[in-house]
Copies of this chain bind each other. A is one copy, B any other.
Amino acid sequence: MAVGQGVVTTLKPIKGVRIGVASAGIKQVVRPDVVLFEMVEQAAVAGVFTLNAFCAAPVHVAKEHLAKSSADHASQRYLLINTGNANAGTGEQGMLDANLCCDEAAKRLNVSASSVMPFSTGVIGEILPSAKIVNVLDDAIANFQEDNWLQAAAGIMTTDTRVKGHSVSFDYNNETVSITGISKGSGMIKPNMATMLGFVATDAKIAAPLLQQLLTQASDKSFNRISVDGDTSTNDSCMLIATAQSNVEISEDDQALLALFKSQLDELMLDIALQIVRDGEGATKLVKIQCDKAASVQEALDVAYTVAHSPLVKTALFASDANWGRILAAVGRSGVKDLIVDDLQIYLNDVCIVQQGARAQSYTEEQGAAVMAQQEITIRIVLNRGDVNDSVWTTDLSHEYISINADYRS
């Protein structure tokens, strides 16, 4: 199940990025499961990573290689991604395996090992079948081409039912700047700094420090605002590449251009983040939880995530039941200090359902049912305590979520 249509059929290549895809047979079904990104020498690259204390071996190695290759001004750099095995909870052996894959790729590509950053996703706690990955490195290299983004999006999927990606572009001084990104993720989704996996590239020229800042800010408004089940993965990573192959440089020197680029990047990142929510395990609805007029961002997020994670709210959404009592109970336990319940309002889309601590006078069950019949719904909680508005996106909780997670060893 997944919400809406929105199937991605084309993704725009980004000059300076080539991608190779191969099938290593990590899972029993043979399918593309190894993806290798190559960036041109001039490319800058930034990354954000999971804050889970049990972060996976490849996350440790990718962070280290990102820092080292940036400091060394490495020439071509590579992202080596496998699905089917997360190489998480694998201790010392996991580090050896992640490094082995980088070493073997580096040997074939004639670069140093720190020029290769590894990413893994899939089952936790199984030893990475590194020999299988090494076996198909030559296949992936032979497959290098710029127009392989859709294949890459398919090659990083786990329980995803759809490929996820988006392209945007804008013109500036008769030059076109393009951004393309892909992501994967469906369950264990409450990213903390980044999604399960996201890879975004632009042909603009952007210096590494600014690139990192742009990625962090865009993640905070996209991947860090979504939750399917509240479970933060051990492998969340998102990388942003700027290949410098167009003639446009984004920098602090041109604030208008910077703002334009930022808005495009933010739009793209939110788009591929919401594709993850739409494809959330068992999802039948995409639900925006918007908390308005909060005293602080933390307060707004506490309220929004408490509602987003409430199993009772989520099962009511699955049942298309406008059960405002459950929303109200979740807001009431969200930990907002000295909350005056008579002061707040709750809306389903534009329909006011709660005011003065009770069902709104004007509200009818028919109004609630009409909103609930839709696939995309906004629950808006107006606290009237300050001037901060913030939002998170989530799904309902369905039988299919239980089936997927009671059957799948992830």
Contact A54 B341 (CB under 8 A): yes
With an 8 A cutoff between CB atoms, is A31 at the interface? no
> Residue of B at shortest CB range from A91?
B358
Q: Which one of A104-112, A257-265, A286-294, A397-405 is at the B interface?
A: A397-405
Interface size on A, residues (CB 8 A): 65
Contact B53 A332 (CB under 8 A): yes
Q: Which one of A12-20, A201-209, A237-245, A312-320 is at the B interface?
A: A312-320
Q: Which of A306-346 contact B (CB under 8 A)?
A: 309-312, 315-316, 318-319, 321, 323-326, 328-333, 336, 339, 341-342
Question: Which B residues lie within 8 Å of A339 (CB)?
Answer: 53
With an 8 A cutoff between CB atoms, is A30 at the interface? no
Contact B52 A91 (CB under 8 A): no
Question: Which B residues lie within 8 Å of A357 (CB)?
Answer: 54, 89, 91
Question: Which B residues lie within 8 Å of A86 (CB)?
Answer: 325
Distance in angstroms between the alpha carbons of A354 and B187 in the assembled complex: 23
Contact B315 A402 (CB under 8 A): yes
Contact of A336 among B53, B123, B229 (CB under 8 A): B53
Distance in angstroms between the alpha carbons of A89 and B399 in the assembled complex: 29
Distance in angstroms between the alpha carbons of A91 and B318 in the assembled complex: 27
With an 8 A cutoff between CB atoms, is A124 at the interface? yes
* Closest Cβ–Cβ distance, residue A93 to chain B (whole Å): 7
Contact A312 B187 (CB under 8 A): yes
Contact of A124 among B93, B326, B409 (CB under 8 A): B326
Contact A402 B406 (CB under 8 A): no
Q: Which of A185-210 contact B (CB under 8 A)?
A: 187-188, 190, 192
Contact A402 B410 (CB under 8 A): no
With an 8 A cutoff between CB atoms, is A234 at the interface? yes
With an 8 A cutoff between CB atoms, is A76 at the interface? no
With an 8 A cutoff between CB atoms, is A387 at the interface? no
Contact B89 A328 (CB under 8 A): yes
With an 8 A cutoff between CB atoms, is A233 at the interface? yes
Q: Which residues of A contact B (CB under 8 A)?
A: 51-55, 86, 88-94, 123-125, 187-188, 190, 192, 229-234, 309-312, 315-316, 318-319, 321, 323-326, 328-333, 336, 339, 341-342, 354, 356-359, 397-399, 401-403, 405-407, 409-410
- CB<8 Å pairs between A and B, sample of 16: A53-B336, A53-B341, A54-B328, A89-B325, A89-B358, A89-B359, A91-B356, A124-B328, A125-B359, A192-B333, A234-B328, A315-B405, A316-B405, A319-B405, A323-B410, A398-B402
